[in-house]
Chain A
Amino acid sequence: MIDKYAVAALAALAAVGTSALAADKGDVELAYVEWSSEVASTNLVKAVLEDMGYDVKITPVSAAAMWQAVGSGDVDGLVAAWLPTTHNHYLEQVSDKVVDLGPNLVGTRIGLVVPAYVEIDSIEDLEGAAERFDGKIIGIDPGAGLMSKTETVLEDYDITDLTLVEGTGPIMTAVLGDAIEKEEWVVVTGWTPHWMFAQYDLKYLDDPKGIYGGEEEIHTIVREGLKEDLPEVYAVLDNFSWTPDQMAELMVMNQERRADPLKNAKLWIAEHPDVVASWMPDNERE
């Protein structure tokens, strides 16, 4: 009996809901992973598009879900694709269903990271210091490209006394913070931009064999058909690009306790009108 009323109420609400949802220009949906760099960029894009009159919904999910969602066209796009290494595996699965709009940020880096007080500077010296590191390299999610690269590093540098421990990003930073608290030696798989570099004094270990590659880029990926459906949004996403320094400004603002990333994005927009102007649809780019 209650069920009948519930269903009727739901149906009525659904009808009310759809009529009240009429946005000015249309709805845009973006997915992202809850990494500090992507929280900054995704909220920034949301703020820019909302200023143009779009309703923008952003959903934080796991990396696999993010790629699956853009591949199936459930979300319009994402500005959080780490390529060519970290997310390569996911891109391959959906490459025929998405459009890669190229990098929105270049100059990122991945590699092995240690606190500044650690007395070695190169991956070549890791094996000799294995004991100081407790025989562990603290890693992140097993699916990440950073992890498979690190496996290759262990092989090519002939490192046998250290094992790569799988975990997650937060576990890695928790272990890192804990070791720094106790001034112990620790080595983690890291990447830039990341808030840990703002919080702690860290350094990358040199990679003389260049296995981690020069640099990662963060790409913008959109679903097929977005260009036809929402040409303005497509143009803005295509034009969107900034520098690691500009991103770092916003990430530091977001590091404050209880920070509101969307408010901070609006502040950032107010401070960088020229940059934002260059993303507008009328700026044709090659």
Chain B
Amino acid sequence: MIEIPRLPLAEWIDDGLDVLTGQFAGATKVVSDLMETGIEGTVDALMWLPPGVTIVLAGLLVWRLAGIRTAVFALLGLALLWNLGLWEATLQTLVMVLIATLIAVCVGGPLGILAALSPSAYRIIFPVLDFMQTMPAFVYLIPAIPFFGLGPVAAIFSTVIFAMPPAIRLTTLGIRQVPADLVEAADAFGATRRQKLWKVQLPLAVPTIMAGINQTIMLALSMVVIAAMIGAQGLGGEVWRAIQRNEAGMGFEAGIAVVILAMLLDRITQGIGRRGKDQPNT
């Protein structure tokens, strides 16, 4: 038997991280500080309105987007969160989830289209997605701190890594599922590649893409709780604190708040998906 020495993989990764930190930590910290100010400002602005007013406005918005039954649920659920004293934590979490989702869609959408139209891009992108979805999040939570500092930005970074894959996968799937005869018809009429994409493939893929965004939001919510370990605060912070202090009741209170938020966001995105016959504008 030939002795194969143990590969110093851990050492390589540590050295690589040191190099990356030295090279980029300064730049990413600047971006991170700006983003953190933006997040805090957004939460403050939302907190500036009395919660009662915000809840009614949210109810109206949900009614327009997802129907009257969901709107009633939204009013009751949000009122409960307010009553439990979790209003600010809920807003923090909501802002974090929405920003993470926005980034995931802005980056993931184009990548999904690319993977749908180019087989070689597909072959490169999809294995990377497997990696992103299965690598335990704890592994990159702590190394993210030198780059983004403690708090919401590092949390959003790890959330994007964890939550982006479904947005890419389902965008690709949606475009690939467009019936071939429609694409042929578009070709027959002499549509350019761009016209074909914007007028035929994307509009028909909207429900599937919305399902992807819905999945992204759900994953982002679950990650935001884990990210409390690096000071993300919000509802995850409440859960984390309760667990640390062994207060089961408080933990469940914050947990129920996460569930309510998740159900609301789920119904709203599904509602948009059903009305997805409109022209998508980005």
Contact = CB atoms under 8 A, between A and B. Distances in A.
Given A1-B282, A11-B38, A72-B145, A31 B229 contact: no
A120 interface: no
Contact of A14 (B38, B106, B142, B150): B38
A51 B37 CA distance: 25
B141 A65 contact: yes
A68 B244 contact: no
- Secondary structure at chain A's binding surface: helix, strand, loop or mixed? helix
- Secondary structure at chain B's binding surface: helix, strand, loop or mixed? helix
Given A34-B245, A60-B240, A170-B243, A74 B38 contact: no
Contact of A10 (B41, B233, B246, B281): B41
Contact of A72 (B34, B38, B141, B146): B146
A66 to B, nearest CB: 8
A16 B149 CA distance: 22
Interface residues of A, number: 36
A17 B40 contact: yes
A69 B149 contact: yes
Interface string A46-89: 00000000000001111011001101101100000000000000
Interface string A15-43: 01110010000000101011110000000
Contacts of B143: 68
B34 A59 contact: no
A174 interface: yes
A65 B142 contact: yes
A31 B102 contact: no
A270 interface: no
Interface in A89-104: none
B145 A65 contact: yes
Contacts of B106: 3
A69 B141 CA distance: 12
Contacts of B176: none
Nearest to B141: A65
B150 A59 contact: yes
B102 A6 contact: yes
Interface in B202-255: 229-231, 233, 237, 240-241, 243-246
Given A17-B38, A65-B229, A34 B142 contact: no
Contact of B44 (A6, A17, A168, A169): A17
Contacts of A9: 42
Interface string B11-33: 00000000001000100010000
B67 interface: no
Given A59-B151, A65-B231, A75-B150, A14 B145 contact: no
Interface string B45-72: 1000000000000000000000000000
A65 B230 contact: yes
A29 B29 CA distance: 15
B231 A10 contact: no
Given A1-B281, A169-B244, A69 B150 contact: yes
Interface of A: 1, 3, 6, 9-11, 13-14, 16-18, 21, 29, 31, 33-36, 59-62, 64-65, 68-69, 71-72, 74-75, 168-170, 173-174, 177
Interface of B: 21, 25, 29, 34, 37-38, 40-42, 44-45, 102, 106, 141-143, 145-146, 149-151, 229-231, 233, 237, 240-241, 243-246, 281-282
16 contacts: A1-B282, A10-B38, A17-B41, A29-B150, A34-B240, A34-B245, A59-B150, A60-B237, A61-B150, A61-B230, A62-B142, A65-B150, A71-B146, A72-B146, A74-B29, A177-B246
Instruction: List 5 A-B pairs, minimum CB-CB distance, nearest first.
Output: A13-B41, A17-B41, A34-B244, A72-B146, A59-B231
Given A13-B42, A64-B142, 19 more contacts: A11-B38, A13-B45, A14-B41, A17-B44, A31-B231, A34-B240, A34-B241, A34-B245, A59-B233, A61-B150, A61-B229, A61-B231, A65-B229, A68-B142, A71-B146, A168-B243, A169-B244, A170-B246, A174-B246
